[in-house]
Amino acid sequence: DPPSSPQSLQSISVLQLRLTEEEKRLLAQEGVTLPGDLPLTQAEERLLKKVRRKIRNKQSAQDSRRRKKEYLDELESRAAACSALNQELRKKIQELEKSNGSLLRQLQALIKETSTKPAQTGTCVLV
């Protein structure tokens, strides 16, 4: 086969290493430059795995902080709602205690009024 046939080109082509911008940035921080072609050496593989693990850990930490913030926001919202309900209920208790006191005074006045009157005899008629 001539070297330009499709089969020969496939066997000659080298797999390219594709890195994300984050991977490139972290590798640069480590002072490492990886070749653009695969396969990588064991040391290069370890470095790439280390960088990818750092990226996963960073993402996991971000997700954890986001979930924690959402949870705290929800708790704060529930606490505010409970506080508002508590205020309403306290106000209702005051109103009911005031009304209860008034009714109690009326009842005591009626009892006093009926106990000081002489007993009246009455006729009960059933129809």
Specify the pTM.
0.55
Contact 51, 30 (CB under 8 A): yes
Q: Which residue has the tokens 């890195």?
A: 19
Run of H or E residues at 62: helix 42-116
Contact 50, 17 (CB under 8 A): no
Contact 57, 64 (CB under 8 A): no
pLDDT in tens for each of the 127 residues of the chain? Answer: 455 555 544 444 557 778 888 888 888 888 877 777 778 788 888 888 988 999 999 999 999 999 999 999 999 999 999 999 999 999 999 999 999 999 999 999 999 988 877 666 666 667 6
From 26, 48, 27, 51, select the one nearest 39 (Cα to Cα).
Answer: 48
